[in-house]
Amino acid sequence: MNYIPQIGKAANRTLCTKKGGYRMQRILNFGCGAIAYNAQYIAAGGNKIGLVNRISNEMCGTLAGKKNITALRMNDGYVYAKTTAGIYSMFDLETQQLQGTGYCREKKNSSHDGKFYVATKGILLDILSFKDGQYYFMQYDFISQKYEKVCVAKSNFTCKDWLVDDQERKAYILFLEKCCLNHSKTNCYISVVAIDTLQIQAEKSIAFEHGVVPIGLINTHSVLLNTMQIYDMDTSEKTALDSNTDFQNTDYGYFVRMRLAENSHLFLIFSKRVLVFDLTTNKLCQSCAYQYGHDAIYLDGKTYIATWDGFFLADE
C-alpha cells in the first residue's frame, strides 16, 4: 500500500522542470491520488473529488462522501470511485450526489489499490484476489447490487497489470509467476476475457530472460519491461526507450503507474517525478519533478498532475 502523507504539510513545495522551463499551476487545493475525465470535465481526488472544467481549468464542483479513493473512472453522466478498502461508489454528475456504493464480499481483506474499468452505465469491471487465493475477473452491477465472476489465474501466478479495449469489448490481463527468482526465465502469460460474457477467449504464454520483469501493459500488444524496453507480443521484438534512467533511480521515488495518452505519449508516473516518452520516436520529451505524485494525464495539449499536495497543470 502506498504511503499517503499528511495533506497540506508540503503545500507550495511542488516544482516542475523542463527544457525551456514551465510552472505548476495549482487547480485543486486538496490532496489528489487519482484522475479521470470525460468530454467536459476532469475529476481528481483522494478524500473528496474535485470536478474541473476542461476549458477554463477551474473547479466547478465537489463530490463528497468517500475517503481514501485510489482509482476513478468517468463517463458522460457519472463518476465512479474505488477506495483502498475495495468499496465502489457511483456519483451523479448533474446533481453531484452519491448514488450508490457496493463491494465484493468474497474479496480478500487487504488493500485494493488497483484500477478498475466501466463496462457500461452502472457496471464496473475489476480483478480481485479472493479469499480462496485465486484471481477473478469480476463484473459488478450497481443496479442489482450483484456481481458475476470468472477465475482467470493459473496456480502460482499473480496479476501484474490489465487493461480493457472498449472497441473489442475485451480485457487483456498480464500474469507473472510468483516464485521465479531461481528460474532461468521469467514466466508470464496473457489472458483475454470478453467483458460482456466473462468468457476467457485466449491465453498466451510469454517468457523473458532471468532478471527481466514486466512493469505493465502499454496496450493490447506491448509490454513495458523493467529494462526500459518495450516488448512487442506479436513480433517478440524489444525496442529500447531513449533514456539513461531506470526504475531503480531513487531520485524518482517509487513507481506508481503508467498511462498511454491519445497522442502516443507514454507517462511513467513515479512518486517524485513523471517521465513522458514520445512512442513515435521513443525519446524522452518531458520530465516533471514534484512531491507525493500519484497520477498524471495529457489532455487538450496540456499535462495535468495529481499529487497529495493538490492537482496541478504543468503550464509552459
Considering only residues 18 and 221, tell me which one the structure prediction assigns the higher pLDDT. 221
Pairing relationship of beta strands 200-209 and 185-194 according to DSSP bridges: antiparallel
Between 8-12, 57-61, 96-100, 136-140, the lowest mean confidence (pLDDT) is in 8-12
Q: Which of 130, 60, 49 is nearest to 90 (CA)?
A: 49
Q: What is the mean predicted confidence (pLDDT) over 249-259?
A: 92
Which residues partner with 262 through β-bridges? none
Place of cell 468468457: 199
CA angle, 305 then 18 then 54, to 5°: 35
Asked whether the CA dihedral 100, 110, 120, 307 is positive or negative, the reply is positive
For all residues of the chain together, what is the average pLDDT? 88
Neighbouring C-beta atoms of residue 51, cutoff 10 Å:
22
Residue 22: band (very low, low, confident or very high) from pLDDT cuts 50, 70, 90 = low
pLDDT at res. 155: 78
pLDDT at res. 152: 93
pLDDT at res. 219: 96
pLDDT at res. 180: 59
Q: What is the mean predicted confidence (pLDDT) over 280-289?
A: 90
d(CA 105, CA 88): 12
Residue-wise pLDDT for 214-247, tens only, equals 999 999 999 999 999 999 999 999 999 987 777 8
Considering only residues 153 and 93, tell me which one the structure prediction assigns the higher pLDDT. 93
pLDDT of 269 > 60? The answer is yes
Which residues partner with 107 through β-bridges? 130
pLDDT of 259 > 90? The answer is yes
Residue 249 DSSP label: -
Between 22-26, 73-77, 150-154, 196-200, the lowest mean confidence (pLDDT) is in 22-26
Contact 303, 22 (CB under 8 A): no
The 3-state DSSP class for residue 85 equals: coil
pLDDT at res. 114: 83
Single pTM value for the model: 0.88
Considering only residues 294 and 133, tell me which one the structure prediction assigns the higher pLDDT. 294
Report residue 109 as a C-alpha cell: 481483506
Most confident of 14-28, 171-185, 198-212: 198-212
pLDDT at res. 181: 58
pLDDT at res. 109: 65
Please, how many CA atoms are within 13 Å of residue 138, restricted to the half-sphere of its CB? 23
Residue-wise pLDDT for 183-220, tens only, equals 789 999 999 999 999 999 999 999 999 889 999 999 99
pLDDT at res. 116: 96
